[in-house]
């Protein structure tokens, strides 16, 4: 649920003060108040969107998407928040104790994916974050929108997609956030996946389409990969419901990296990856060599030894953390 109850809802034009503002009045407000950040005047945005009919939403979408292209950072942010609320719209007529997302909201946004894609690399940090969350919701749409996959592939091929991004929220602070490439993996891994229930473990597993796997492998094999990009990529890969052993195998080259930080990153997380039997055997041999190699930094040797102490190649099997 989106909760933004900071200023009175009476700030909105409405015929009857006891009624919720209409979605149209919300759009008018965003259009007229370009300096208000984070739609702080809206206390019940989720309720407003849930009350709107699908035809009302479709009618307002062109204006909302147009506002995401504004030259004003805050106006783009507010418009994206409205889109996020539409994507999180709940099904109606369900029991009070049951909430379920109505995918019709996300489906209505799909035709605008190509116009929203530039917000993934927006100069204003909150806009990048909201757009990523919005696109992650769109990744649940089936059939998968081709425009969504194409946007993800374009991001992974972008020359700057392995580099951290400056956080522009607080100009007085020098902070970076993860590169856009690894962050886009969260979207692609969900968008390209098909799922099945394992008859042995009764756990729902998944695997991504060949084109998604190929795009991620190509990204991981880029010569300009950095430790922070690889770390964030591994985080996405290990936490994704879909597991792609061939994709995970592309990370093993970093076990032999000349950059100790890259080795640390992979050794810290490798047990959360499902590998093919061949890759697992190869990786285990390399980690064993690292654990015994006295030329290695002591902390890397210890990480390798810790991995070998519990590494069943089963991400559902809990092992002690190898965090240094």
pLDDT at site 208: 96
Residue 264 in domain? yes
Q: Which of 97, 118, 133 is the last residue of a domain?
A: 97
Q: Which of 64, 97, 130 is the last residue of a domain?
A: 97
* CA atoms of 224 and 251, how far apart (whole Å): 14
pLDDT above 60: residue 41: no
Q: List pLDDT tens digits, range 219-245.
A: 999 999 999 999 999 999 999 989 999
Residue 111 in domain? no
Q: And the tokens for 177?
A: 């956030």
Q: Which of 51, 71, 97 is the last residue of a domain?
A: 97
pLDDT at site 15: 36
* CA atoms of 216 and 232, how far apart (whole Å): 13
Q: How confident is the model at residue 19 (pLDDT cuts 50, 70, 90)?
A: low
Closest by Cα among 268, 209, 269 to 244: 209
6-10 mean pLDDT: 32
Q: How confident is the model at residue 90 (pLDDT cuts 50, 70, 90)?
A: confident
255-270 mean pLDDT: 96
Residue 108 in domain? no
* CA atoms of 162 and 314, how far apart (whole Å): 28
Total number of domains constituting the chain: 2
Q: List pLDDT tens digits, range 195-204.
A: 988 887 888 8
pLDDT at site 94: 65
pLDDT above 90: residue 169: no
pLDDT above 70: residue 172: no
- Top pLDDT among 20 and 254 is at 254
Percentage of the chain exceeding pLDDT 70: 87
212: Cβ contacts below 8 Å, ≥ 6 apart: 149, 152, 188, 189, 191, 192
Residue 28 to residues 36, 40, 75, 124, Cα–Cα distance (Å): 13, 15, 12, 22
pLDDT above 80: residue 163: yes
- Top pLDDT among 171 and 153 is at 153
Q: What is the DSSP string of 190-238?
A: HHTEEEEE-TTT--EEEEE-HHHHHHHHHHHT-TT--HHHHHHHHHHHH
153: Cβ contacts below 8 Å, ≥ 6 apart: 215
pLDDT above 50: residue 3: no
pLDDT above 80: residue 64: yes
pLDDT at site 38: 58
* CA atoms of 314 and 63, how far apart (whole Å): 48
- The neighbouring-strand residues paired with 165 are 177
Average pLDDT over the chain reads 88
21-48 mean pLDDT: 81
Residue 53 in domain? yes
* CA atoms of 204 and 100, how far apart (whole Å): 20
pLDDT at site 250: 97
Which domain range does residue 35 map to?
A: 1-97
Residue 89 in domain? yes
Residue 1 in domain? yes
pLDDT above 90: residue 285: yes
Q: How confident is the model at residue 92 (pLDDT cuts 50, 70, 90)?
A: confident
Residue 91 in domain? yes
Residue 151 in domain? no
pLDDT above 70: residue 140: yes
């Amino acid at each position: 649920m989106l909760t933004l109850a900071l200023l009175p809802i009476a700030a909105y034009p409405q015929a009857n003060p006891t009624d919720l503002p209409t979605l149209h009045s919300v759009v008018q407000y965003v259009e007229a108040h370009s300096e208000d950040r984070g739609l702080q005047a809206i206390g019940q945005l989720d309720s407003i969107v849930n009350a709107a009919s699908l035809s009302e939403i479709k009618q307002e979408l062109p204006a909302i998407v147009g506002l995401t292209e504004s030259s004003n950072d805050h106006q783009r942010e507010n418009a994206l928040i409205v889109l996020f609320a539409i994507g999180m719209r709940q099904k109606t007529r369900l029991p009070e104790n049951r909430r379920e997302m109505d995918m019709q909201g996300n489906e209505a946004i799909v035709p605008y994916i190509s116009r929203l894609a530039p917000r993934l690399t927006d100069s204003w940090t909150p806009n990048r974050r909201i757009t990523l969350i919005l696109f992650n919701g769109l990744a649940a749409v089936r059939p998968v929108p081709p425009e969504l996959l194409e946007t993800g592939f374009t991001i992974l091929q972008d020359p700057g997609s392995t580099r951290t991004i400056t956080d522009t929220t607080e100009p007085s602070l020098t902070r970076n956030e993860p590169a856009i490439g690894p962050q886009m993996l969260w979207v692609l891994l969900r968008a390209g996946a098909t799922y099945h229930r394992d008859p042995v473990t009764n756990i729902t597993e998944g695997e991504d389409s060949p084109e998604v796997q190929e795009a991620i492998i190509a990204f991981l094999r880029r010569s300009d990969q950095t430790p922070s990009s690889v770390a964030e990529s591994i985080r996405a890969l290990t936490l994704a419901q879909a597991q792609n052993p061939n994709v995970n195998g592309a990370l093993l080259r970093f076990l032999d990296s000349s950059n100790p930080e890259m080795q640390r990153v992979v050794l810290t997380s490798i047990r959360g990856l499902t590998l093919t039997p061949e890759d697992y055997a190869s990786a285990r041999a390399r980690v064993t060599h690292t654990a015994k190699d006295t030329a290695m930094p002591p902390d890397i040797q210890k990480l390798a030894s810790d991995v070998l102490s519990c590494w069943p190649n089963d991400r559902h099997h809990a092992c002690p953390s190898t965090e240094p």
